[in-house]
Amino acid sequence: MKRLFTHHDPMLAGYLHATLQSAGIEALLKNAYLTGAIGELPPMAVWPEVWVIHDEDHARAEQILKDVLPEEMR
């Protein structure tokens, strides 16, 4: 399992997660509901993360990331 993406915006992470799922890539969305812990935990520690379950799907997932998100958002 490899981390593909992290961002402060949970909507953006959720969008990428759903896009990967619809492309047939198994992915996990971590920290989706931890933003309320900012202040108790370091901000970047609670940002949503998208992880690709199978390492062999990671390269394809990276290409999807490049295709759906502008460079400044990656």
Full-model pTM: 0.83
Residue 44 is predicted with a pLDDT of: 66
Residue 40 is predicted with a pLDDT of: 64
Rounded to the nearest 5 percent, the helix, strand and coil shares of the chain are: 50, 20, 30
Per-residue pLDDT of the chain (74 residues; tens, 9 = 90+): 999 999 988 899 999 999 999 999 999 999 876 565 556 666 666 789 999 999 999 999 999 999 999 888 77
Residue 19's domain is classified under what CATH number?
3.30.70
Domain total for the chain?
A: 1
For 16-44, letters b (16+ CB in 10 Å) and e give bbebbeeeebebebebeebeeeeeeeeee
Domain that holds residue 37: 2-73
